[in-house]
Structure 1
């Protein structure tokens, strides 16, 4: 890639920021153009790779909350009023239709007309609601958003927190009662606790703490950091599934989650301002970034998973690990000054540009199989949101243009 051919690091960084900034504008434009459901409100549940909305598909809390976060964060960076308007649309739809006014919290999914489809309280979904609401509060100053985020935090602590072993139980029914099936998705194990849910709880709590310096919230973030360094991170890798007592239930390695957690946990530690925790999680971030390099192909693309027991690597390259690799490796460059990490970040971006960015219809494809064939999943959907790729662009732009901690080169 032409960026890697530049000899001057400052010019490399400036060019990297410029191309990513252009991509962020393109991504935001795509979602504003094709995802808005003008007929039934909110946003479509699915949009195809040819930009055709599938109006009959359900609407999920994950997609709506991630749209809320992305456009709020984009407004905070760029001050584009159109982005704030989309964030406001997401907030109004979330607070009107997804919010459970009887039991509190947010429904998992809705029919296209806004009626409840699945009212369960999946903690992963509650966390993303907090994440989006707190970011929207920062962008808009709307006190209702902050109050809803606070209320959801209180509900998670009341119903999901495990006072014996720490951490959080995965899911509950609509009235916050117990469930037999706790799975986040069909591919997950039916266990009490997962790395994925805990990563996004701490992410949400740290974002809320930026707006609300509550002692209980601060304690919850510290406990989550303890859980990660004590139970979830093992030999610079993240275990994925656990029993309630934190006994691991899987040996799988998720490369994308490893590199995402590397920089995200550091950011969560920094939100507390605790120097000891910050120092530790910077070391952890760098160690994970070193370890995860065995999941990167020669073309810069990051593989999906590895099973150390079977010795089998799933060599699919999904869109979101590539986005997280951009940030995780760039963060490692900031921490270490090692130019090879900057090059890995740029190579991740090069892989995305060459293989995942849809140059004809916009946005990114879901991913590619090992033989290079495109995956057929839709451009937008229950899990395909502007969060990973939009956030990666926002992070790279901020870190290059606004950071005071770039290595001296």
Structure 2
């Protein structure tokens, strides 16, 4: 199968590239058929390498919620707990199936309800409010996760619940998302500097930074007591999802604030994002994450369009800069695909390739092609190379699904297909977006 995929991909790339050049060699738009062929390939990956391998396999009918740990061949491995991020993301994915594929509503609506019930009845802290960072399979607090609250995880619980309401019109799901937002806004919003405190005690008290012998205490997302790029881009994402079904005035104000923070404080010219900040938004030097750059380009445009119908010039400009910089410094010119991370103006420092980075890159490159492809063919050229790398290396031809991490050349560095940090969210969202955008581009030809 690997050889067949490679051969088909090479033929397709050759055909599309040929379609791009006119008699004078001047680039023009790919053909309608080329777009549709690509859309069919992406659809195949979505259904066979994401949805079919995760569902219903991940549904945990014994303990509730979703099981996250699977081997390369998709055999169930020992549980690594019930993580708020994973539970929210899988609920969101199930809801997207209902929204994108109405014919599968009867199959997936019960999975959506299953996810919401777990978020509502187990992940929500009935004592102090808010969603737990994580629990064991019996719904108990453990040293693995602790009893604190982390806004990164809470945001994804809201994200899943809001999408569930959009898909099923279940008022319980919307009430849960509203309740999560209200708790978060009451306990964690920084009224002075904007944005949110990220790491809280169980009762909602922000945890200050702790420095011992020069070392800062850290958690799974970043340094405790600081603000992070990662949490704030995903809060923006979650609030956007909620705003689509609940256009509340306070929610809108917070969403406007987050968009401005991500675009104007987190992101800076020439197209990079600082990772960590003091509470007053002073940037802390660190690496540049190419995957977050291209993902945030998409998320900013999405938020601005939901809020205002059309993205502003400032948002468009910064989104383009983020993608252009990632291509200039983080693109693998030999093998295709985005490297993991590097410095702002230096060579890549980590050249491994993670599944979510490659999928977010695919989405962002086609988004840029849609906007700027008539002026510059580079985005579609890189899109083709990115898709070729994903098909030939990220996707597992033997057992389906995608490898978590590969070398720059595409050799798997890990074989487990699922973990608490690897759900069906990045790849499914990217493939849905790309498939629909390719068909939109085909229709415009």
With normalisation by structure 2, the TM-score equals: 0.86
- Structure 1 residues 207-218: aligned runs within 5 Å: 207-218=241-252
Taking the aligned partners of 1:58 and 1:399, their CA distance within structure 2 comes to 36
Could you tell me which of 312, 318, 326 is aligned with 2:354?
Answer: 318
**Is residue 2:191 matched to residue 1:167?**
no
| Root mean square deviation of aligned Cα | 2.1
SS class of match (1:378): coil
What are structure 2's unaligned runs of at least 5 residues?
Answer: 1-9, 20-29, 210-216
| Count of matched residue positions in the alignment of Structure 1 and Structure 2 | 405
Taking the aligned partners of 1:164 and 1:306, their CA distance within structure 2 comes to 33
**Aligned residue number for residue 114 of structure 1:** 139
**Aligned residue number for residue 90 of structure 1:** 115
**Aligned residue number for residue 304 of structure 2:** 269
The structure having more radius of gyration, on CA atoms, is: 2
Taking the aligned partners of 1:308 and 1:292, their CA distance within structure 2 comes to 9
Residue by residue over 1:66-118, the C-alpha shift from the partner in whole angstroms, topping out at 9 and shown as x without a partner, is 10111111210111122222222211222121111222221111112222333
- The worse-fitting range, judged by mean Cα deviation, of 294-303 and 140-149 is 294-303
SS class of match (1:342): helix
Taking the aligned partners of 2:314 and 2:128, their CA distance within structure 1 comes to 39
Q: Does the Cα contact within 8 Å between 2:263 and 2:300 map onto a contact in 1?
A: no
Could you tell me which of 374, 387, 397 is aligned with 2:412?
Answer: 374
Taking the aligned partners of 1:340 and 1:310, their CA distance within structure 2 comes to 22
Taking the aligned partners of 1:325 and 1:407, their CA distance within structure 2 comes to 23
**Aligned residue number for residue 10 of structure 1:** 32
How far 1:408 moved relative to its partner? 5.5
How far 1:191 moved relative to its partner? 4.4
Residue by residue over 1:145-175, the C-alpha shift from the partner in whole angstroms, topping out at 9 and shown as x without a partner, is 1111111111121111111111111111221
**Is residue 2:180 matched to residue 1:157?**
no
How far 1:358 moved relative to its partner? 1.3
How far 1:274 moved relative to its partner? 5.7
Q: Rate the CA distance shift 1:266–1:32 in 2: closer, same or farther, 3 A.
A: same
**Is residue 2:229 matched to residue 1:195?**
yes
- The worse-fitting range, judged by mean Cα deviation, of 320-329 and 92-101 is 92-101
SS class of match (1:34): coil
Could you tell me which of 60, 68, 83 is aligned with 1:37?
Answer: 60
What are structure 1's unaligned runs of at least 5 residues?
Answer: none
Could you tell me which of 294, 297, 304 is aligned with 1:259?
Answer: 294
How far 1:399 moved relative to its partner? 1.7
How far 1:312 moved relative to its partner? 5.0
Q: Does the Cα contact within 8 Å between 1:286 and 1:335 map onto a contact in 2?
A: no
How far 1:279 moved relative to its partner? 3.1
Taking the aligned partners of 1:200 and 1:161, their CA distance within structure 2 comes to 15
Taking the aligned partners of 2:399 and 2:147, their CA distance within structure 1 comes to 34
How far 1:223 moved relative to its partner? 0.9
Q: Does the Cα contact within 8 Å between 1:170 and 1:183 map onto a contact in 2?
A: no
How far 1:183 moved relative to its partner? 4.1
Q: Rate the CA distance shift 1:377–1:168 in 2: closer, same or farther, 3 A.
A: farther
Taking the aligned partners of 1:227 and 1:119, their CA distance within structure 2 comes to 29
Could you tell me which of 377, 383, 387 is aligned with 1:349?
Answer: 387
**Is residue 2:88 matched to residue 1:65?**
yes
Q: Does the Cα contact within 8 Å between 1:202 and 1:224 map onto a contact in 2?
A: yes
- The worse-fitting range, judged by mean Cα deviation, of 190-199 and 315-324 is 190-199
Taking the aligned partners of 1:339 and 1:140, their CA distance within structure 2 comes to 41
Taking the aligned partners of 1:31 and 1:261, their CA distance within structure 2 comes to 26
**Aligned residue number for residue 169 of structure 2:** 141
Q: Rate the CA distance shift 1:391–1:163 in 2: closer, same or farther, 3 A.
A: same
With normalisation by structure 1, the TM-score equals: 0.93
Stretches (4+) displaced over 6 A: none
